[in-house]
């Protein structure tokens, strides 16, 4: 198992030694600096790295700290040798002696801490260690410690995904923190690389225009920059993603730059008017899963409610790195927050009677964001703006009509919407910027899904795939976005996750999208346009009656029905679980990768309803798989049958990728291709 850890300028970290004491409800970590000087990375490697100076100079990323990669067991053995001679026994006599690796990041000349990462290991464990636990704690805004992540290796604390009272003290660094965090047994600890794609040159070989879409293919010189890795920690009951940090493998096996001089490039361009984009969003908001997918975007949840007092990260963390002078935002999903919101949206219909359709969904979403993110802030939970938003959306066919509807009683300058509206009329501002952010998010996740469909049409393999999405939006159509996304106001360009490049232009009209999909092997694939159209039609586009995602779920349910009928005949719990899930709204069901984390809580709720304890009618976990897939769709507006690609092919981890693509928005963006079908029918 390989782990990626931050280090100071590739070279240094803090060596810790001390003790871990735990019981069923608390965990105390009491550490001291092993040496006053920081530990050296070279002490952890097999020998001197002759090329390390050259590697440092060649890194595309200039930050205060970087990441080095180690095999976990190798790292522990080296750390324990460095801690040799530590006095055994804790002051209380019950602590487990451990050795540690610690790095924190602070802003220059400030005490504010961006993050701290702590690795603790028991040194007398044998091969094949199974006891690995992890915790991630996000503190409140304004704290001097926004988050801390820890991994405990070979230390059996008996935690099973529950809250524990924690205290971390590191003598010599002035750290003495007490907090509550979920400590979970780690079943899976994996990392996903992040790359930044840059097209150096492009030579067109063929082009065609179809119904408003321009397609072009040719050869390109493509350069990839290895930005870093995101660390995923998962157990059966919970999971977390540690924020991405800049990475360089100290052994030099992952050089940060790679040049591909003979890549094959497939490009798709489309210009979209603001009214076309508004019409799609209006339709998507009344379509269940596409609506929730939009509401889960951090661009929406993290910025639309800022005027109401809910600021900062909601569903994703954002870290800014500099790539050869160009800033890029790297996002990491906040899994606990995403699950929290879904748990409040995906509830039995009887629990929210009195609301209908979109109005109900938005009000439940607003309450969920308040409960999961902004409960203790000055967030105003007034829902009046939701009623106005929904009413104007339902009665307006164009974006201009929607804005006029909202501004009926506004006495200011309608022709010139400004950021000052955030302070003078926060609810009106929220409703106005909300639709802009929904439109922009729909464009981003639609273009990303379309890029994956293009890769499938071109037959690109996982190891040879790269993508770049460029979007140009106009200030005239999105006048208020810059008020809540300050990078747009400052520089006019934003790049994030090494894939999306957004340009904010003052002097244009409409929206322009260019999707570039690369086959780094240089292989040529014929009939690309026809293959892409076939995929669109298989997913239900162009009026096709066939939808392979829906067909797959129907077939899955048919296969499960027989086994379910046998199991449920003599099992009260499974029968009640089936009825409970049947009362849940399928149209807002979470993706299955998320639902698996929610299943334990749902089963527990059903048990309480039946008056059962966890020991009564204990069932193997695998039996539940004959029940819940009958109610949770296999495609939540994006799955591997449609707009997702195989593991490690996309820069996002599978769970994050599912939230960053939309089948509905992709089919809408590629809709002009359907004119090929009409042309064929006419001939």
Torsion angles phi and psi, residue 621, rounded to 5: -55, -30
- The span from the CA of 665 to the CA of 449, in Å, is 8
pLDDT digits (tens, 9 = 90+) for 146-162: 567 788 888 877 655 56
Q: Is 412 helix (H, G, I), strand (E, B) or coil?
A: coil
Give the pLDDT of residue 440.
95
Residue spans of beta strands (DSSP E) within 510-644: 511-519
- The span from the CA of 215 to the CA of 212, in Å, is 10
Q: Are strands 511-519 and 465-474 parallel, antiparallel or unpaired?
A: antiparallel
Give the pLDDT of residue 250.
34
Give the pLDDT of residue 674.
92
Residues sharing a CB contact under 8 Å with residue 308, sequence separation 6 or more, in sequence order: 379, 380, 382, 426, 427, 430
Query: Is the confidence at residue 498, as pLDDT, over 60?
Result: yes
Query: Is the confidence at residue 125, as pLDDT, over 80?
Result: no
More confident position, 90 or 293:
293
More confident position, 411 or 381:
411
Average pLDDT over residues 400-407: 92
What is the percent of the chain where pLDDT is above 90? 36
Average pLDDT over residues 566-592: 90
Give the pLDDT of residue 68.
54
Give the pLDDT of residue 249.
39
Q: Are strands 162-171 and 26-33 parallel, antiparallel or unpaired?
A: parallel
Closest by CA position to 320, among listed 478, 107, 142, 141: 107
* Cβ contact 189:73 at 8 Å: no
Say how many C-beta atoms besides its own lie within 10 A of residue 645's C-beta: 21
* Cβ contact 294:368 at 8 Å: no
Domain ranges of the chain: 3-43+96-186, 191-260, 548-663
Query: Is the confidence at residue 327, as pLDDT, over 80?
Result: no
Q: What is the mean pLDDT of the chain?
A: 80
Average pLDDT over residues 538-564: 93
Most confident of 107-111, 174-178, 532-536, 622-626: 532-536
Give the C-alpha distances (Å, rounded to integers) separating 616 from 194, 467, 572, 581.
46, 52, 11, 21
Query: CA-CA-CA-CA torsion for 338, 342, 344, 346, nearest 10 degrees?
Result: 180
Residues sharing a CB contact under 8 Å with residue 274, sequence separation 6 or more, in sequence order: 399, 439, 474, 477, 510, 511
Give the pLDDT of residue 165.
86
Residues sharing a CB contact under 8 Å with residue 434, sequence separation 6 or more, in sequence order: 300, 304, 389
Residues sharing a CB contact under 8 Å with residue 236, sequence separation 6 or more, in sequence order: 161, 187, 600, 621
Give the pLDDT of residue 62.
34
Query: Is the confidence at residue 2, as pLDDT, over 80?
Result: no
Query: Is the confidence at residue 504, as pLDDT, over 90?
Result: no
Give the pLDDT of residue 272.
94
pLDDT digits (tens, 9 = 90+) for 4-31: 565 555 456 788 888 888 887 888 888 8
Tokens for 442, please give them.
Answer: 């729909």
* Cβ contact 126:136 at 8 Å: no
One-character DSSP codes across 88-103: PS-TTS-PEEEEEEEE
pLDDT digits (tens, 9 = 90+) for 59-71: 333 333 344 556 6
* Cβ contact 86:2 at 8 Å: no
Query: Is the confidence at residue 108, as pLDDT, over 50?
Result: no
More confident position, 90 or 325:
325
Give the pLDDT of residue 276.
95
Between vectors from CA 258 to CA 523 and to CA 2, what angle results, nearest 5°? 105
- The span from the CA of 103 to the CA of 10, in Å, is 12
Percent helix, strand, coil in the chain, to 5, is: 35, 30, 35
Say how many C-beta atoms besides its own lie within 10 A of residue 552's C-beta: 15
* Cβ contact 448:661 at 8 Å: yes
Query: Is the confidence at residue 447, as pLDDT, over 80?
Result: yes
More confident position, 247 or 395:
395
Most confident of 150-154, 196-200, 216-220: 216-220
Give the pLDDT of residue 525.
83
Give the pLDDT of residue 342.
94
One-character DSSP codes across 322-364: EETTEEEEEEEE-HHHHHHHHHHHSS-GGGGTT--HHHHHHHH
- The span from the CA of 148 to the CA of 118, in Å, is 8
Give the pLDDT of residue 84.
72
Tokens for 476, please give them.
Answer: 């005239």
pLDDT digits (tens, 9 = 90+) for 26-55: 888 888 876 545 666 666 654 333 333 333
């Amino acid at each position: 198992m390989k782990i990626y850890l931050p280090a100071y300028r590739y070279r240094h970290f803090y060596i810790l030694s001390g003790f871990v004491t735990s019981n069923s409800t608390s965990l105390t970590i009491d550490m001291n600096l092993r040496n006053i000087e920081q530990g050296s990375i070279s002490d952890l490697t097999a020998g001197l790295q002759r090329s390390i100076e050259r590697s440092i100079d060649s890194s595309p990323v200039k930050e205060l700290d970087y990441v080095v990669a180690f095999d976990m067991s190798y790292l522990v053995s080296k750390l324990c040798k460095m801690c040799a001679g530590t006095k055994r026994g804790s002051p209380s006599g019950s602590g487990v002696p451990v050795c540690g690796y610690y790095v924190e990041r602070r802003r220059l000349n400030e005490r504010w801490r961006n993050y701290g990462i702590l690795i603790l290991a028991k040194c007398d464990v044998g091969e094949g260690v199974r006891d690995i636990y992890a915790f991630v704690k996000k503190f409140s805004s304004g704290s001097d410690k926004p988050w801390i992540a820890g991994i405990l290796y070979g230390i059996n604390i008996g935690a099973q995904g529950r809250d524990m009272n924690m205290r971390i003290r590191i003598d010599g660094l002035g750290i003495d923190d007490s907090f509550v965090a979920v400590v979970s047994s780690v079943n899976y600890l994996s990392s996903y690389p992040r790359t930044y794609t840059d097209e150096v040159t492009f030579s067109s070989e063929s082009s065609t225009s179809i119904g408003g879409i321009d397609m072009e293919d040719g050869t390109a010189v493509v350069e990839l920059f290895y930005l870093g890795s995101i660390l995923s920690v998962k157990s059966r009951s919970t999971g977390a993603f540690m924020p991405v940090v800049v990475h360089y493998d100290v052994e030099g096996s992952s050089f940060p730059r790679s040049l591909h001089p003979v890549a094959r490039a497939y490009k798709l361009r489309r210009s979209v008017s603001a009214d076309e984009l508004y019409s799609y969003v209006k339709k998507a908001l009344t379509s269940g899963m596409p609506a929730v997918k939009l509401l889960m975007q951090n661009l929406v949840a993290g910025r639309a409610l800022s005027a109401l007092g809910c600021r900062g990260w909601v569903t994703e963390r954002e870290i800014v790195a500099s790539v050869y002078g160009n800033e890029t935002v790297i996002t990491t999903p906040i899994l606990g927050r995403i699950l929290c919101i879904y748990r409040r949206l995906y509830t039995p219909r009887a629990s929210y009677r009195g609301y209908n359709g979109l109005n109900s969904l938005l009000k439940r979403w607003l309450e969920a964001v308040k409960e999961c993110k902004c409960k203790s802030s000055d967030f105003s939970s007034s829902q009046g703006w939701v009623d106005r938003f929904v009413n104007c959306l339902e009665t307006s066919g164009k974006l201009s009509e929607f804005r006029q509807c909202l501004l009926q009683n506004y006495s200011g300058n309608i022709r010139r919407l400004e950021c000052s509206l955030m302070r003078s009329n926060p609810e009106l501002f929220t409703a106005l910027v909300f639709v802009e952010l929904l439109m922009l998010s729909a464009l981003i996740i639609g273009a990303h899904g379309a890029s994956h469909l293009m890769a499938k049409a071109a037959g690109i393999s996982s190891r040879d795939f790269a993508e770049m999405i460029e979007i140009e939006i106009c200030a005239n159509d999105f006048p208020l976005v810059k008020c809540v996304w300050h990078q747009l106001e400052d520089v006019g360009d934003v790049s994030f996750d090494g894939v999306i490049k957004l340009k904010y232009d003052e002097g244009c009209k409409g929206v322009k999208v260019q999707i570039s999909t690369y086959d780094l092997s240089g292989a040529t694939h014929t009939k690309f346009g026809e293959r892409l159209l076939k995929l669109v039609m298989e997913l239900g586009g162009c009026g096709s009656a066939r939808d392979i995602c829906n067909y797959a779920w129907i077939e899955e349910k048919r296969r499960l029905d027989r086994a379910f009928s046998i199991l449920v005949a003599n099992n009260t719990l499974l029968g009640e679980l089936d009825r409970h899930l049947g009362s849940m709204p399928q149209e807002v069901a979470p993706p299955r990768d998320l639902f698996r984390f929610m299943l334990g809580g749902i089963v527990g709720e059903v048990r309480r309803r039946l008056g059962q304890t966890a020991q009564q009618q204990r069932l193997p976990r695998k039996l539940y798989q004959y029940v819940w897939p009958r109610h949770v769709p296999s495609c939540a507006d994006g799955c591997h049958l449609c707009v997702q690609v195989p593991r490690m092919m996309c820069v996002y981890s599978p769970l994050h990728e599912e939230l960053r693509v939309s089948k509905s928005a992709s089919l809408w963006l590629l809709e002009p291709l359907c004119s090929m079908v009409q042309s064929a029918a006419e001939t």
